[in-house]
């Protein structure tokens, strides 16, 4: 029992209000117990069938996992971003890749549709994150491992839950059009230029040093074994696990 994960009173005070109330049908299993079981699976990285009996029926734990969280953080946690930091280098390997043909022209079932793509380390999923000055993620977006950081940046910024004053990012986001779009939106870019540039890019070096927080955010999420090594085939399941891990790690 000492090795099991249990939600504290403070954590449950944040998550509890989002649980459904007065649902018809059979008596609902205790939400706090079931969600603690979900978080135990995410932390330990075990199979759903190996979830300890202390959390209740394992089928209930898995069935409760799918609909309880969306692929983004709850609206009540969408606070002001302030000085955003963006990164997309949290590569999570995918095991047992089994791409299949699409069911129909508008429904893709292959690896790309599940945010899986080839990269230097094999088939991976890339997590694009936008955090505030404290390293708390406000946006988490999944793409295949071969997706470009620069082309994904507009989609990440479009989901920003608040006003951004400064945007810090690494050299992977070195693009003149991106800097122009940021300035047009009233955002000061803090993005260094690549070494091969003919014209040197000036940026605020003191503020850029604070970009270590995005690395700390990535490392904190990887403390959840099921996040560090992607076991879920479906992108929506993996995004749900990522959102729940972020809520527990940064917002509770």
Q: Tell me: the pLDDT tens digits for 143-183? A: 998 888 888 999 999 988 888 999 999 998 999 999 999 99
Alpha carbons 216 and 75: distance in angstroms, whole number: 23
Q: Which of the residue ranges 50-54, 100-104, 116-120 has the most confident prediction, judged by mean pLDDT? A: 50-54
CB atoms within 10 A of CB 76: 10
pLDDT at residue 236, as a whole number: 86
Q: Which residue has the higher pLDDT, 178 or 77?
A: 178
pLDDT at residue 71, as a whole number: 37
pLDDT digits (tens, 9 = 90+) for 201-248: 988 899 999 888 888 999 999 999 999 988 888 888 898 899 889 989
Among 62, 100, 1, 109, CA closest to 231: 62
pLDDT at residue 90, as a whole number: 53
Alpha carbons 233 and 2: distance in angstroms, whole number: 30
Alpha carbons 185 and 189: distance in angstroms, whole number: 11
Q: Are 243 and 72 in contact (CB under 8 A)?
A: yes
CB atoms within 10 A of CB 48: 15
Q: Which residue has the higher pLDDT, 248 or 89?
A: 248
3-state secondary structure of 141: strand
Average pLDDT, the chain: 82
Q: Are 83 and 164 in contact (CB under 8 A)?
A: yes
Query: Across the chain, how many H-helices and E-strands are there?
Result: 9, 6
The alpha carbon of 223 is separated from its chain's Cα centroid by a whole number of angstroms, namely 13
The contacts of residue 21 (CB under 8 Å, 6+ apart) are none
140 forms beta bridges with 129
Q: Are 9 and 32 in contact (CB under 8 A)?
A: no
Alpha carbons 198 and 107: distance in angstroms, whole number: 45
3-state secondary structure 79-133: CCCEEEEEEEEEEEEECCCCCCCCCECCECCCCHHHCCEEECCEEEEEEEEEECC
pTM over 0.85: no
Residue 97, classified by CB atoms within 10 Å of its CB into exposed (0-12), middle (13-18) or buried (19+), is middle
Q: Are 53 and 226 in contact (CB under 8 A)?
A: no
DSSP designation for 223? T
């Amino acid at each position: 029992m000492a090795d099991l994960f249990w939600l504290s009173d403070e954590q449950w005070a944040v998550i509890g209000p989002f649980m459904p109330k007065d649902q018809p049908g059979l008596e609902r299993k205790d939400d706090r117990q079931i969600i603690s079981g979900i978080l135990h699976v995410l932390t330990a990285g075990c199979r759903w069938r190996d979830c300890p009996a202390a959390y209740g029926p394992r089928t209930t734990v898995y069935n409760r996992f799918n609909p309880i969280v969306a692929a983004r953080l709850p609206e009540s946690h969408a606070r002001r971003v302030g000085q955003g930091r963006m990164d997309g280098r949290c590569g999570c390997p995918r095991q047992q890749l089994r791409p299949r043909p699409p069911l129909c022209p508008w429904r893709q079932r292959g690896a790309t549709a599940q945010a899986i793509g080839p990269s230097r380390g094999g088939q991976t999923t890339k997590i694009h994150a936008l955090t505030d000055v404290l390293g708390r993620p406000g946006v988490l977006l999944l793409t295949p491992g071969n997706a470009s950081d620069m082309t994904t940046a507009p989609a990440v910024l479009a989901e920003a839950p608040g006003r951004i004053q400064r945007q810090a990012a690494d050299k992977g986001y070195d693009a003149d059009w991106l800097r122009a779009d940021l300035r047009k939106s009233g955002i000061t870019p803090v993005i260094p230029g690549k070494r091969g540039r003919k014209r040197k890019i000036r940026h605020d070096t003191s503020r850029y040093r604070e970009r270590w927080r995005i690395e700390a955010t990535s490392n904190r999420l990887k403390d959840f074994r099921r996040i560090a090594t992607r076991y879920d085939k479906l992108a929506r399941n993996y995004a749900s696990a990522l959102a729940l891990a972020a809520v527990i790690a940064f917002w509770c």
